[in-house]
Amino acid sequence: MSVSSTLFAHGGEAGGPERSGTGPAPGESAFGRPLTGSVHTVAVIGVGYVGLPTAATLAYLGHRVTCGDADPAKVAMLQRGEVPIVEERLEELVREGQAAGNLTFVQGAAAAVTGAEFVFLCVPTPQGDDGSADLSYVEAVAAEISPHLAPGTVIVNKSTVPVGSTLVVERVLGRTDVKVVSNPEFLREGTAVPDSLHPERIVVGADDQAAAARVGELFSGTQAPLLITDAATAETIKYASNAFLATKLSFVNAVASLCEAVGADVRDVILGLGYDRRIGFEYLKPGPGWGGSCLPKDTRALVHIAEQAGYDFSFLKGAIATNDEQFERVVAKVLAAVAPSLPDGEGPAGDTGAGDFGGAVVAAWGLTFKAGTDDLRNSPAVEVALRLAEGGVEVRAYDPTVSVPEGAGSVAVPGFATPDAPGSLLAYPDAYTACQGASAVVVLTEWDEFRWLDFAKVRDALAAPVIVDARNLLDPAQVRRLGFSYVGIGRR
């Protein structure tokens, strides 16, 4: 059956002041009083950056939620009420759910789905070799849970998946007595808790409108607008959203480059743009390039989806190419900044290939792809740091989420280097130590704490007082007064 898109307003129908189910009693929750509707039994498979906030939110809304994950260490931590990722207030929300008896964690997908009315799939969909989304995790879970599902169960695909994946899951499940629904997720790491408790919209796509409506009803307590579509439309909404955000970031980075060329200041240009409500301020901040676990893979997947369907999405390819240029622009700014400190004969005279900058030491503040998370996946900060290292620069990084054991001096950033490998990425215990003897410091992640450092101390630690601010986080006038040479992105 084809389903036309329908927009519902959640809220009034959700139970109002009446409380049902086992959700926190009025006044018990630190997150305010949830509006609870009817209570359901839910399984969430994969408790990562998406699955865990989703599960904790559903528990907060009063549902009985069992989470299954393949990682035994993660499950053990969560059973103890410890959250394995950096996400503000998530541990509090998880512990509330556990205390209310609404949130439990088990090892493996099959163990979680027994008796569940709804099963949320929140497993990874990484980038495949050809740019397409790799559905192997989704398919593996579907195969694992299929024999354990009760008739009538609704499988809810929250992983970001290409158009047509609902049919793939149906095929792998091989069950005609269960429904598959698409429910893309829009939360942002760093604000996952408020984003999940107060989403801007809930999108549910399915050919079976009744199944989609039942999934929407699970979230009625959030009072978010509910958009019910067919599955292909829901899947497209997710990719189009991320493609738009990536494009907006590439646009503002390109405008920053233009500002540098014509002598304008991008901060004022953004003010002039953002007050126009058609444009807005969100995602209008220049930086070292966009990254993270979603935008790079989702934009490439959409280009691939379009190609498969016979449409050349050259516009989006342009946004991706602009992003790659942005990494290089930031690397070039850093290399130009450290060149004066290098011995004669080295530096950027002409070619700046690998090794040209051997001997240069640069401090890097920030490694995560954005502030408020510990996620290093496809981080632009890491990308820039690694490109600098490839050019022969010794990068000394500091990030508040990368801990250095007491007395260790520095630590290899997990997943990116070994201590003795060339191009090794080392993290230091604090922002000042990372700067010791460096020819410049580059700000790569917008952690607020960087704004409040003692910049006289930073200046004294550096071998040369040079700041490359790839996040436009600092006040140029303030640091220049202290004797720094300051280079931002599109700023005078």
- Minimum CB distance to ligand NAD smaller for 119 or for 232: 119
**Residue 122 or 402 having the CB closest to ligand NAD:** 122
Cβ–Cβ < 8 Å for 361, 439: yes
Q: Which residues bind ligand NAD (CB under 6 A)?
A: 45-51, 68-71, 74, 109, 122-125, 137, 140-141, 159-160, 185, 187, 189, 293-294
Tell the smallest beta-carbon distance from residue 34 to ligand NAD (Å): 22
In the bound state with ligand NAD, the residue whose beta carbon lies nearer, of 49 and 450, is: 49
Between 19 and 201, whose beta carbon lies closer to ligand NAD? 201
Calpha distance 415→342 (Å, rounded): 30
Angle, alpha carbons 280-285-291 (nearest 5°): 115
Cα separation, 282 vs 278, in Å, equals: 11
Q: Which residue is nearest to ligand NAD (CB)?
A: 48
Chain-centroid distance, C-alpha 376: 9
Minimum distance, C-beta of residue 48 to ligand NAD, in the bound complex (Å): 2
Q: How many CB atoms lie within 10 A of CB 348?
A: 15
- CB-wise, 245 or 338, nearer to ligand NAD? 245
CA distance 82 to 76: 9
Nearer to ligand NAD, 127 or 209 (CB): 127
Sheet holding 154-157, edge to edge: 6-9, 225-229, 202-205, 179-182, 154-157, 118-121, 41-45, 64-69, 103-107
Burial of 477 (0-12, 13-18, 19+ CB in 10 A): exposed
Residue 294 known to be catalytic: yes
CB of 142 to ligand NAD, least distance (A): 10
Give the active site residue among 67, 259, 294, 435: 294
Q: Considering beta carbons, is residue 86 or 140 the nearer one to ligand NAD?
A: 140
Residue at token pair 């101390």: 457
Are 462 and 439 within 8 A, CB to CB?
yes
- Whether the CB-CB separation of 386 and 289 falls below 8 Å is answered with no
Instruction: Determine the Cα–Cα distance for residues 431 and 261; give it in Å rounded to an integer.
Output: 32
Backbone angles phi, psi at 360, to 5 degrees: -75, 140
Minimum distance, C-beta of residue 74 to ligand NAD, in the bound complex (Å): 6
| Residue number, 144 or 390, with CB nearest to ligand NAD | 144
367-283-52 Cα angle (round to 5) = 60
Shortest gap between Cβ of 91 and ligand NAD (angstroms)?
16
* DSSP result, 208-239: -HHHHHHHHHHTGGG--EEEEE-HHHHHHHHH
Going by C-alpha positions, the residue among 160, 156, 222 that lies closest to residue 8 is 222
Q: Dihedral of CA 47/50/55/57: which sign?
A: positive
Closest-CA residue to 323 (of 295, 298, 343): 295
**Order of all β-strands in the sheet with 394-398:** 411-412, 426-427, 394-398, 361-365, 440-443, 466-469, 485-487
Distance in Å, CB of 238 to ligand NAD, minimum: 7
Q: How far is the CB of 125 from ligand NAD (least distance, A)?
A: 4
Minimum gap (Å) between residue 492 Cβ and ligand NAD: 34
- Which are the catalytic amino acids? 294
